[in-house]
């Protein structure tokens, strides 16, 4: 079977999907996606039979319902993971690699299903959803290649005596909690390295987007993942279901992607068992355009950095810091591009921007825009919700946004760009860093020295240099400060799922030769 060699992350400019989607296509897909809990290799109902509804944010209608895990289901899921850990941790790395490789091929072969599932439950346009399929699948392929490469080391102690043997072993059963904004990729970014390392796991997907996670589970089962290795428990009671697991001494690790507020709480809960934690949290990305930048390229990059995933991304550019000499031209050019941006349901081939996830998201984005305008920002384009069914918001550009406006301090998570002028490089660095977050910065400059100064000075886990997209499965994704702990993807990703053990060995020459 040939598989497309693409590592392209989702972008707002990915070409539109080819297959037209009809109501029948949607119904047929929804009928194919399992809707139970997946525990110990079996699809089951929740302990008390509860189910919850999954909504289509573009129409505010019900797509279907899935089993709603109760705390006892969570405990059953962890028991299955703990039971499977010993044998799974001892499987041949090549065997684990081949399961991941098959999963990559199956996800790729079912790209239309995965893309449509994400478009329906999360709202992103199909073309972008296809971008996420390629990105999410690539974690499966990347870590299939990493599984056989795990190794330790053997060394002579500095005094020439003992020998030092350092080995790696799987961390053990993990709990994964994922957000709704990238329903496939945020799951594969955790599952793939854990499978490669030999860990078992319980996945609790976001309650707003459980369908894609359940479809992925079906594919991983088909790829040959043994019972108990992956257990999946959607629930509307995330704290109630995961709380007992964090207190259970069979759990060894928590990996969470979501908001900093929830992450902070989970770190505190993880302290009881001194769990290993990986935290991929919120961001407040500055997008800095220096006076020597290529303005046209900066506007193109801004469009992608802002509108990719409808602005609902932790790496979305939140604050556009533009040198005063370019600020007006930049704001005007960006507003012109955003004004013509086609908004619509994600299945519409012309749509480039889908709805926000729910009513609360629309209310939050509206509040941030209104606050900025009330403080003196100028509305260059957009500014409000789009009336009708669904949770659509206009592509919006605010210029002359005053320092102190809430929109510069909070994650917008919507299609709103705020332009702020600066005068000096020092000022740009200071303003960029005036946030508790440190996930990603974008910098546009043609001055090599300045680019390198930014790479060293900005407090950020990732830097986009003359590009509006940094996400890549081959790169370590993660942030500094309150944006998180640990890295996902790249050579570093598998290390999050490995423990280091050291064996001290007596000097083999100490007693002379026999
Ligand atoms: P969220 O924190 O509200 O929810 C994330 C997950 O946590 C969901 O599965 C939710 O059910 C679960 N959750 C909520 N409360 C919980 C609790 N008390 N105990 C256990 N689980 C709980 O975030 P969200 O709205 O789904 O996602 C958006 C946020 O995620 C943004 O802040 C965004 O920046 C962040 N994010 C970060 C990255 C990254 O890699 N750094 C990637 C994507 C999203």
| Burial degree of 426 (CB within 10 A; 0-12, 13-18, 19+) | exposed
Asked whether the beta carbons of 176 and 216 are under 8 A apart, the reply is no
If we measure between CA atoms, which residue out of 410, 414, 465, 468 comes closest to residue 435? 410
Which DSSP category does 45 fall into? Answer: -
Q: What is the pLDDT of residue 19?
A: 66
**What are the tokens at 332?**
């005007």
Phi, psi of 74 (to 5 degrees): -60, -45
- Ligand 1: does its nearest atom lie under 6 Å from the Cβ of 178? yes
Measured distance CA(219)–CA(101) in Å, rounded? 12
- Give yes or no for a contact between 273 and 307, defined as CB atoms under 8 angstroms apart: no
Q: How many Cβ atoms sit within 10 Å of the Cβ of residue 403?
A: 10
Whether 280 lines ligand 1, by a CB cut-off of 6 Å, is: yes
Rg (CA), the chain: 24
Catalytic residues: 280, 314
Q: In ligand 1, which atom is closest to the CA atom of 280?
A: 41
CA of 83 to the centre of ligand 1 (A): 28
- Ligand 1 neighbour 462 (Cβ under 6 A): no
Listed in sequence order, the residues at least 6 apart from 449 whose beta carbon sits closer than 8 Å to its beta carbon are none
Exposed, middle or buried, 8 (CB in 10 Å: 0-12/13-18/19+)? middle
209 lines ligand 1 (CB under 6 A): no
Distance from the alpha carbon of residue 262 to the mean position of ligand 1, in angstroms: 7
C-beta of residue 468 within 8 angstroms of C-beta of residue 305: yes
Q: What is the pLDDT of residue 7?
A: 38
CA distance 291 to 295: 9
Number of Cβ within 10 Å of residue 190's Cβ equals 28
Pair 171, 197: CB distance under 8 Å = yes
Give the E-state strand segments of 339-453 in sequence order: 378-381, 396-399, 416-422, 437-438, 440-444
- Cβ distance 213 to 234 under 8 Å? yes
- What does the pLDDT read at residue 3? 35
- Contact in structure between 104 and 191 (CB atoms under 8 Å): no
- Residues 341 and 389: their CA atoms lie apart, in Å, by 19
Distances from the Cα of 168 to the Cα of 146, 175, 495, 498, angstroms: 14, 20, 9, 6
Say yes or no: CB of residue 257 within 6 Å of ligand 1. Answer: yes
Q: Ligand 1 atom closest to Cα of 439?
A: 41
Which tokens hold the place of 237?
């009671």
| Confidence at residue 319, expressed as pLDDT on a 0 to 100 scale | 98
CA 63 to ligand 1 center in whole angstroms: 22
Ligand 1 closest atom vs CA 242: 20
Pairing relationship of beta strands 51-56 and 61-67 according to DSSP bridges:
antiparallel
351 ligand 1 Cβ < 6 A: no
With vertex at residue 230, the alpha carbon angle to CA 229 and CA 234, rounded to the nearest 5 degrees, is 155
The set of residues, in sequence order, having a beta carbon less than 8 Å from that of 86 and lying 6+ positions away, is none
Distance CA(428)–CA(279), nearest Å, equals 28
Q: Mean pLDDT in runs of 10 for the chain (514 residues)?
A: 38 52 96 98 98 98 98 98 98 98 98 98 98 98 98 98 98 98 98 99 98 98 98 98 98 98 98 98 98 98 98 98 98 96 96 98 98 98 96 98 96 98 98 98 98 98 98 98 98 98 97 82
- Given a contact cutoff of 8 angstroms between Cβ atoms, the answer to whether 398 and 417 are in contact is yes
Instruction: Looking at 410-492, list the stretches that DSSP marks H as alpha helix, in order from N- to C-terminal side.
Output: 425-433, 448-457
For Cα atoms 399, 402, 407, give the angle at the middle one, nearest 5 degrees.
80
Which residues are registered as beta bridge partners of 233? none
pLDDT of residue 388: 87
Residue 314 Cβ inside 6 Å of ligand 1? The answer reads yes
List phi, psi (to 5°) of 65: -135, 155
Nearest ligand 1 atom to the CA of 479 is: 41
Burial of 4 (0-12, 13-18, 19+ CB in 10 A): exposed
**Pocket perturbation via mutation, ligand 1, pick of 213, 243, 262, 315 by most ligand atoms within 8 A of CB:** 262
């Amino acid at each position: 079977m040939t598989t497309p060699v693409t590592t392209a992350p989702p972008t707002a400019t990915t070409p539109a999907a080819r297959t037209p989607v009809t109501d029948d296509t949607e119904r047929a897909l929804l009928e194919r996606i399992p809707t139970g809990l997946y525990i110990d290799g079996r699809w089951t109902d929740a302990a008390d039979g509860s189910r919850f509804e999954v909504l289509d944010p573009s129409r505010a209608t019900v797509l279907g319902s899935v089993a709603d895990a109760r705390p006892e289901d969570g405990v059953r899921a962890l028991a299955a993971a703990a039971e499977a850990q010993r044998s799974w941790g001892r499987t041949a790395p090549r065997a684990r690699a081949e399961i991941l490789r098959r999963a990559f091929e199956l996800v790729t072969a079912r790209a239309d299903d995965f893309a449509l599932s994400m478009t329906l439950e999360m709202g992103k346009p199909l073309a972008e959803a296809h971008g996420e399929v390629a990105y999410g699948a690539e974690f499966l392929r990347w870590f299939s290649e990493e599984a056989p490469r795990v190794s330790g080391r053997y060394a002579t102690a500095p005094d020439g005596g003992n020998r030092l043997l350092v080995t790696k072993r799987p961390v053990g059963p993990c709990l994964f909690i994922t957000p709704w904004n990238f329903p496939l990729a945020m799951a594969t970014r955790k599952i793939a390295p854990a499978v490669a390392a030999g860990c078992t796991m319980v996945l609790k997907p976001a309650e707003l987007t459980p369908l894609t996670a359940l479809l992925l589970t079906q594919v991983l089962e088909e790829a040959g993942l043994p019972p108990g290795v992956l257990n999946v428990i959607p629930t509307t009671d995330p704290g109630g279901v995961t709380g007992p697991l964090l207190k259970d001494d069979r759990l060894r690790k928590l990996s969470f992607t979501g908001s900093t507020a929830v992450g902070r709480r989970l770190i505190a809960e993880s302290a009881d068992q001194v769990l290993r934690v990986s935290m991929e949290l919120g961001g407040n990305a500055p997008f800095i355009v220096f006076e020597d930048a290529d303005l046209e390229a900066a506007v193109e990059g801004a469009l992608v950095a802002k509108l990719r995933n409808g602005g609902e991304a932790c790496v979305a550019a939140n604050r556009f810091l533009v040198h005063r000499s370019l600020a007006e031209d930049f704001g005007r050019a960006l507003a012109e591009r955003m004004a013509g941006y086609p908004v619509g349901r994600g299945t519409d081939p012309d749509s480039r921007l889908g709805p926000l996830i729910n009513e609360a998201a629309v209310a939050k984005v509206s509040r941030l825009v209104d606050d900025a305008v009330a403080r003196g920002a100028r509305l260059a384009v957009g500014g409000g919700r789009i009336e009708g069914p669904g949770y659509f918001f206009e592509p919006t550009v605010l210029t002359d946004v005053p320092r102190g406006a809430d929109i510069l301090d909070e994650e917008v998570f919507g299609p709103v760009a705020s332009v702020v002028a600066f005068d000096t490089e020092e000022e740009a660095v200071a303003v960029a860093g005036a946030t508790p977050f440190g996930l990603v910065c974008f910098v546009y400059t043609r001055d090599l020295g300045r680019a390198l100064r930014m790479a060293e000075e900005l407090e950020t886990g990732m830097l986009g240099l003359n590009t509006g997209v940094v996400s890549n499965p081959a790169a370590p994704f993660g942030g500094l400060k309150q944006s998180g702990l640990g890295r996902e993807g790249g050579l570093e990703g598998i290390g999050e799922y490995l423990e280091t053990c050291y064996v001290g060995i007596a000097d083999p020459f100490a007693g002379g030769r026999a």
